[in-house]
Amino acid sequence: MSGNRANDQAFSPETSGKGLALPGLVIGLLTGLAVYAIVEYWIDGRDDNPLALSVLFFTVTASAAYLLLAESGRFLRPLIGALTIAAILFGPDYFIFSAVGGDETHLTPFPAVFWMATRGLAAYLLVTLVKAAHESGAPPAYSPVFFHGVTIPLIAGGAKLFAALALILLFAWARLLKELDVTFFNKLFQEPWFILPFLGGIGGLSIALMRGLQSLLGALRFVLLLLARILMIITALFTLTLLIVFAVNGIGLVFDRPYPSAWMMGLALLGMLIFNGVYQNGEGGPPPLWLRLPTLITLIGFPVYAGLAFYAFYLRIDAYGLTPPRIAGIAINGLIAAYSIVCLAGLLTEVNWRGKKWMPLVGPLNTAMAGLWIAVLVLLASPFINPWAMSANSQYALLAKERIAAEDFDFGYLRFSLGKDGERMLDKLMTLEAHPQAMEIRNGVERARSADSYWTYKNPINPAGPEVLPFNPEGAETGPDDPDSASNP
C-alpha cells in the first residue's frame, strides 16, 4: 500500500494529462455510438422507460469520469473509479426516472428538476475525491482534493467551449456547402447516427486537450484564487454591515422580504466558495493581516446565515407543512449549518495566532464535507427520503391535527402534485370521523377528486360569485394567504 502511495505521488499534474488525445477521441466516439444505440433502439417511442434513461446517463457519466481520471499509461484503475461513480449515481437516476416517467401523472416535477440540477455537482465531487485518492491514497489528502476541485470545472468548461465551437464550425461549413448546391453534408450532419458520435468524439477529445493545457489551467487557477482574495474583502464588509443592521434593527427585516431562506443560503454558499479560494490547499501559513481579518469576519457570518435560514424554514413548515422544495431546501441548509461547524473549528485554531499552518482543521473537514454533500444529494433522490411521500404525510398531519382549517387546506395539492402518496392521504382524510370539520374535509376531498386538473380545482365555475381559493402549499397564486408572498418567510 505504501509503495503504491509513493508511486502515485510521483505523478505530476503537468504531465498526467499528456498522451490522452487519441484515447479521448476513441472513447468519445464509442460513447456517442452507445448513446445513439440506446436512443434509437431502446428509448425511441418509449420515453417513459426509466431503465433505458438510467443506462444512458450511466454510460455518459462513466465515459466523462474515465476521461477525467485517466492518466498516461494508467487506464485500469481509472476505469474502476469511473464505473463506481456512475454506479453510485445510477440508483438515484433510476428512482427519479421511475417516479416521474412511470404511470404517475400527478406529481410535482421539483424533485426530478432538483436532482438533474445537482447531479453534476455530485458527479464533480465524486470525481474530485476519487482522483485525489488515486494520488494520495485513501482517505484523500486535502491538497490534491483542492487542486482537482479547482481544476476539474476549468477542464469541463473548456471542453464544452471547444465542443460548442466545433459544432458551430461544422454547421457553418455545411451551410456554406449548401449555398454551393452541395446538400449531402447538410443532410449528413442532421443524422443522429452521425451527429451523436461526432459530439461524443469532440467532447472526449476536448477533455483530453484541456487536460494537456496545464499552463493555461494554471493561469486560470491563479486568476480565480486572486479573485477570491479580492471578493473576500467585499464579502467581509457586507457581512459586517449586515451583522450591525441585525443588531440595531433586529432580524425581522429579513422576513419582510420574499424567500429569506434562499437569500441566506445564497450568501452562505457564496461565502463558502470565496473562503475556500482564500484558504486554498491548507498547506501554507496564515495570509497577511489585511486578508486574515476579513476572512475571520466572513466566517462569523456563516452560523448567522444558517440560523436565519433554518428559522425561515421553521416558520414556513410550521404554517404550511412540508413540500418537496422545502425538503430540498432544509437539507441544503443543513449542509450549510454543518459547514458552520467547519468554520467554527477554523476560528478556534486562531487562538494559536502564530501557528505555522493556518486553520489546520479546515482541510480534512473540507474533504469530509465533500463526502457529506454527495451522501445528502444522493439520498434526496432516493426512496429512503421520498420527497413526495414525506410531503403527503406532512400535509395530512397539518389538517388532521387541526393546525389549519379545512376551508384553507389545498386538497388539490395532494391530488395533483403528490401522486399515489397524495391519493393515499386523501383516503386517510376521508376516515377522520372524529375531526370537528369531518364534513368539510369530505367535501374538500370529493371536490379535488371531481376536478380533472389542478387548474379546474383552483378555478371552479361558481355562478353565485367568485370562489375563495384555498391555500396552496407550493405557493401558487392563491391570494393573501399565499405562503410565498412577501409577508411570509
> Which residue type is seen at 166?
A
Q: How far apart are CA 407 and CA 203, in angstroms?
A: 55
pLDDT of residue 475 exceeding 70, the answer is no
Tell me if 221 sits within 8 A of 48, measured CB to CB: no
Q: What percent of the chain has pLDDT over 90?
A: 57
> Which residue type is seen at 345?
A
What is the pLDDT confidence band of residue 48, given thresholds at 50, 70 and 90?
Answer: low
Strand partners, 101: none
- Grid cell of 249 as nine digits: 434593527
More confident residue, 62 or 354: 62
More confident residue, 74 or 77: 77
Residue-averaged pLDDT of the chain: 86
Please report the pLDDT score of residue 472 as a whole number: 59
Which among 78, 64, 74 has a CA at the least distance from the CA of 203? 64
Please report the pLDDT score of residue 115 as a whole number: 96
Cis peptide before 78 (omega within 30 of 0): no
Strand partners, 74: 71
Which residue in the block uniquely carries the three cell numbers 441585525?
246
Which among 265, 407, 393 has a CA at the least distance from the CA of 321? 393
Please report the pLDDT score of residue 179 as a whole number: 80
Cα dihedral 469, 474, 477, 482 in deg (nearest 10): 70
328-363: per-residue pLDDT in tens?
Answer: 999 999 999 999 899 889 899 888 888 888 999 999
- Grid cell of 204 as nine digits: 472526449
Which residue in the block uniquely carries the three cell numbers 476539474?
152
222-235: per-residue pLDDT in tens?
Answer: 999 999 999 999 99
Q: What is the pTM of this model?
A: 0.87
Considering only 140-154, 167-181, 206-220, 261-275, which range has the smallest mean pLDDT? 167-181
Tell me if 308 sits within 8 A of 252, measured CB to CB: no
